Amino acid sequence: MTTASSGPVSLPVGTGRAFNFSAGPGVLPEDVLNRAREDLLDLFGTGVGILEHSHRGKAYDRVLEEAIADARSLASIPDDFEVMFVQGGATTQCFQIPMAFLPDGGTADYFETGKWAKDSIHEAERYGGVHLAFSGAESRFGELPQGGDVSRVSYSSGPAYVHYTSNNTIMGTEWHELPPTPPGDAFFVCDASSDIFSRPIDVSPYGLIYAGGQKNLGPAGTVLVIARKDVLERQVRELPWMLDYRLIAQKQSRFNTPPTFGVYLIGQTFKWIIENGGLEGMRAHNERKAKIIYDTLDASGFYTPHARVQDRSLMNVTFKTPSEDLDKRFIAEGESQGLRYLGGHRSIGGMRASVYNAMPVEGAEALASFLREFERTHG
């Protein structure tokens, strides 16, 4: 992306677009948005736009087939896994998963690592027992039990599954390794909403991975689900059609009229990732951006990052200035300079810079120079 100097920060030139640090819906690749603009009017030279094609027609067949094939090639997803697109946001997965896999009288293990994990726990408790394998409440969810801290994890004796959130969007913590192997024949369920495809992933240890679209993939509402076929057969109760993963898989994610535009856009994002070095390329790109921002925070005596160093997220960088008043000024001055949506989630306050795959390096550099400038003038 070309940039120009505008005060202390550089903004993308000529596009009228700001650097968007929103946690979600968040920044999407400009190439994808430009492509979508064309395909809204005419997809594949059919004279009919993507929003207007039947979900049973040949054009949508191609959209869906390519999206699934590209997801499979990106993450080397083997044939014994289904790749599905479902509706209702990631929040629907919070109840759909225990409805499907947590038997009456059974237990599922959950890592309580932030608000979204807590929502999942709340919903699971409607269907069965929940055992907390770990709670980060004491550290205000600034820590995860990884690295030297795995001894803080304790599983129950026979959970149906183990649920964890790979990246905690609000707190700015991220797992950099897998949690300890689940006991017995339990499988991992992972909420990867805010770091899906930001780095290489080996799906084989998982039973089910889900990710809401609006961060690294595409529009809100459409959810990517990657699930092991034999795990789907473990469904413990009859579910309404729309929630039955087996039926969703059997009907190729179009039991009813699916969110065709969401699937299309996610598919275009997969192509963009492939063209930009695949998941290894994303990892290098995301590590570079995160380093630019964290190095600036660490070099300052003014800002306090929220997450413990080894648990820091590459996707959501959370930090504070010395006072709430200065936080507010930071956010307002950032906005006026084209650094949009730097406010932290209302539950923890402060600031949060979300630097998903589509955030260019220039966005991280612009934020770093704004951090230094703000400290110089207000520190």
**Binding footprint of ligand PMP on the chain (CB under 6 A):** 24, 89-91, 116, 165, 169, 191, 193-194, 212, 220
Would residue 175 show up in a list of annotated catalytic residues for this protein? no
| Nearer to ligand PMP among residue 20 and residue 165 (C-beta) | 165
Min dist CB 282 to ligand PMP, Å, is 18
Min dist CB 90 to ligand PMP, Å, is 3
Catalytic residue among 215, 244, 272, 327: 215
Query: Of 171, 113, 193, 216, whose CA–CA distance to 318 is shortest?
Result: 171
Q: Are 164 and 109 in contact (CB under 8 A)?
A: no
In the complex, residue closest to ligand PMP by CB = 89
Place of tokens 């608000």: 115
| Nearer to ligand PMP among residue 20 and residue 369 (C-beta) | 20
| Nearer to ligand PMP among residue 12 and residue 207 (C-beta) | 207
Those residues whose C-beta lies under 8 Å from the C-beta of residue 133, and which sit 6 or more positions away, are 109, 110, 111, 153, 154, 155, 156, 162, 164, 179
CA quadruple 133, 137, 139, 144: dihedral, nearest 10: 30
Min dist CB 91 to ligand PMP, Å, is 3
CA distance 373 to 185: 54
Pairing state between β 187-191 and 161-165: parallel
| Nearer to ligand PMP among residue 12 and residue 218 (C-beta) | 218
CA distance 200 to 74: 8
| Nearer to ligand PMP among residue 191 and residue 244 (C-beta) | 191
Would residue 116 show up in a list of annotated catalytic residues for this protein? yes
Would residue 191 show up in a list of annotated catalytic residues for this protein? yes
Query: Of 222, 237, 169, 229, whose CA–CA distance to 204 is shortest?
Result: 229
Q: How far is CA 35 from the centre of its chain?
A: 23
Min dist CB 11 to ligand PMP, Å, is 26
Min dist CB 224 to ligand PMP, Å, is 11
Catalytic residue among 191, 195, 311, 327: 191
First to last CA, the chain: 32
Q: Looking at the annotation, which residues are catalytic?
A: 116, 191, 215
